[in-house]
Structure 1
Amino acid sequence: MKFFIDTANLDQIREANDLGVLDGVTTNPSLMAKEGIKGVENQRAHYLKICEIVDGDVSAEVISTDYEGMIKEGEELAALNPHIVVKVPCIEAGIKAIKYFTDKGIRTNCTLVFSRGQALLAAKAGATYVSPFVGRLDDISSDGIELVAKIVEMYTYYGYETEVLAASIRSTQHIIQCIEAGADVATCPLAAIKGLLKHPLTDSGLATFLADYKKVNG
């Protein structure tokens, strides 16, 4: 499974990249706002900074909700850097735009997916990635991981090449569950990725090894 980091924070992106396990980055307007990045030009310059750090896909989201606006924004974003994947919401105009981008050779990430039906339409339109939102489904007492598993099963059965990018990951446990569900990618906060390192037996084992080393070597 590939790891993307879900942030616009350059320090966190560098830290995840230096860890040696980072495959890409996802961003959205909310994450940009969190970093205080305002204005289209500043945001696009920020995407370029991310692309300089990461040797992998960088999802950049369109703001428009109409077809013509999505096409204009998406083509401009894709032209910024070969790493850019155009992130498009799963609405009617978005599915139509994904088909257009697919025909033009522009890669896409269909975001805000909450059902198998939406995921099916995105795959039929040729989306590179589809992003089911695990945490947001859990928030309304639905099962986000089950949706990921069902989409994986559907794509495998019908032979769709669209990759399942599990989004809205809230915890290390979510990552483990996404592995079990067969997700191609999980996009996560840095803390959730680093949480995979933690295990009490690793800590106690290391402490024992170091204590034994000191006994022998002083």
Structure 2
Amino acid sequence: MDILFDTASLKAIERLTPIYPFTGVTTNPTILRREGKVEFYAHFRRIREIIGPDRTLHVQVVATDYQGILDDARRLLTNIDDQVYVKVPTTADGVRAMRALKADGVRVTATAIYSKTQGFMAIASGVDYLAPYYNRMQSLDIDTRDTIAALAAFIDRFDASTKIMAASFKNIAQVSHALEAGAHAVTMPPSLLEVALGAPDIVAAVDQFSADWKKVYGTDRLPD
């Protein structure tokens, strides 16, 4: 199971890297917009420095036409590093570009997936990851869990190497449901994980343990 952070915030990535067992960082133009008009390539090179070479870095193209996607992919690989996973929206031009990129050995993440058909095409194109948009699909009354389960079954049936990386979450229950349905990975805003682990009931339980110990032993540490 892979857990990724869906953020372009250098501060958040620096702070959380020593804490959580995350395996990579995903971004898109909307996420990047929150950081302001940063020096694009330098920003992502800095993210790579923070997370190191063993975690994955997924950066999205901006072009929407076939040749433009290939050109954007080349720019990402040249100006960041050749280990970047190029995120490509799963449109007709996107699928064509995915096939060309995979033929050249490029790491590819198929994104903006709302349907089984998109997922099947991405898997058949040999992408490394595909990203179904969990909350957005639910908002359209699409059975997200069924979609993920069908894609996972397709991967197993044909022994494909693609991993399902569910994205677009609004609460931690959706993350759990995606994993239960068969997602191999999830990418989420760091704030979502922090809220889940800092729930009032959890904090209250830990505080009670500490208070009970201190009443008996007068300290907040175990004895030497």
Normalising by structure 1, we get a TM-score of 0.91
The structural deviation recorded for 1:58 is: 1.0
Q: What is the deviation of 1:204?
A: 4.2
Kindly state the Cα deviation for residue 11 of structure 1 after the two structures are TM-superposed.
1.2
Which consecutive residues of structure 1, in runs of 5 or more, have no partner in the other structure?
A: none
Question: What secondary structure sits across from 2:18 in the alignment?
Answer: helix
The reply on whether 1:46 has 2:39 as its aligned counterpart is: no
In the alignment, is residue 22 of structure 1 matched against residue 22 of structure 2?
yes
Please report how far the alpha carbon of residue 198 of structure 1 lies from its aligned counterpart in structure 2 after TM superposition. Answer: 4.3
CA deviations over 1:174-204 (Å, ceiling 9, x no partner): 1111221121110101122224424666444
Percent identity among equivalent residues? 29
Is 1:136 the counterpart of 2:136? The answer is yes
Contact 1:59/1:86 (<8 A) preserved: yes
Which residue of structure 1 aligns with residue 62 of structure 2?
Answer: 63
**Does residue 161 in structure 1 map to residue 158 in structure 2?**
no
Tell me, which stretches of 5 or more residues in structure 2 are unaligned?
219-224
Q: What's the Cα RMSD here? A: 1.7
Whether the 8 Å CA contact 1:134–1:143 is kept in 2: the answer is no
Q: Distance in 2 between matches of 1:199 and 1:45?
A: 36
Residues 169 and 186, structure 1, Cα contact 8 Å, conserved in 2:
no
Aligned to 1:18, the other structure's residue is in SS state coil
Pairing of 1:1-218 with structure 2 (within 5 A): 1-37=1-37, 42-55=39-52, 56-79=55-78, 80-198=80-198, 202-218=202-218
Contact 1:8-1:31 within 8 A present in 2 as well: yes
Count the aligned residue pairs. Answer: 215
Note the C-alpha offset of 1:205. Answer: 3.8
Give TM-score, length-normalised by structure 2: 0.89
Measured after TM superposition, the shift of residue 71 of structure 1 is 0.9
